[in-house]
Chains A and B, each alone.
Chain A
């Protein structure tokens, strides 16, 4: 059974810092990995999707990497801003399944 773990559970940084969020998964047979952002009481906003054949994806100040063989992904946020404050969720689609398996998230607070 796939399990997804995110470390740290919570993170507080001053504005302008570069930061890394970590995600690990136990079954490396995945189709893809997706990073989401969730604001309090809101739905999920898709940030980046990395296919199993890819190593990284970039969108603006966000860069996500994938090391499928070791079961790890990182989300790098450059020059963090207070508006980046949210919970970041990592999720994978495991081969043989259609739906996402989620980690429990990292709650990020960027202090102005």
Chain B
């Protein structure tokens, strides 16, 4: 069966520090991968998605970036964190198809910026 892993589960970082969150999927190949953010009091917002290695699409302008160095690995990064980057970051995957495949989510990373 397929599983999705995110780490770390929680992270406390000072303003201006770098960030690297990792997501890996097991049990499938060539998945679509997604990064969402859930800010306090707000709904889930798509940040990035990827349909293949090295292919990244960004939904909103921000100081975050994403990379997909391997088929089942998706990384969210920042060179300098802002207070507004605090939130709950969720990685998701689904299979290829006519955009009709369900998305499956990881357990998330709670990021607090001090």
B43 pairs with A31, CB closer than 8 A: no
- Find residues 39-86 in chain A having any chain B CB closer than 8 Å to their own CB: 41-46, 49, 51-52
A104 pairs with B43, CB closer than 8 A: yes
Instruction: Report the minimum CB–CB distance from A75 to chain B (whole Å).
Output: 15
B102 pairs with A31, CB closer than 8 A: no
Q: Name the B residues within 8 Å of A91 (CB-CB).
A: 44
Instruction: Report the minimum CB–CB distance from B87 to chain A (whole Å).
Output: 13
B103 pairs with A31, CB closer than 8 A: no
A102 pairs with B107, CB closer than 8 A: no
Residue of B nearest to A96 (CB): B99
A31 pairs with B44, CB closer than 8 A: no
Q: Which of B32, B105, B110 contacts A44 (CB 8 A)?
A: B105
Q: Describe A's contact surface by its main secondary structure.
A: strand
B102 pairs with A46, CB closer than 8 A: yes
- Which bracket fits the contact residues of B? 20 to 34
Question: CA of A52 to CA of B32 in the docked complex: distance in angstroms?
Answer: 20
A43 pairs with B103, CB closer than 8 A: no
Q: Which of B43, B45, B59, B108 contacts A43 (CB 8 A)?
A: B108
Instruction: List 5 additional contacts besides A42-B108, A100-B46; criterion CB under 8 Å.
Output: A46-B103, A49-B102, A91-B44, A98-B99, A99-B34
A-B contact pairs, 23 of them (CB 8 A): A41-B88, A43-B6, A43-B105, A44-B90, A46-B103, A46-B105, A51-B100, A52-B100, A91-B44, A98-B32, A98-B49, A99-B36, A99-B46, A99-B49, A99-B59, A100-B34, A100-B46, A100-B92, A102-B43, A102-B45, A103-B43, A104-B42, A104-B43
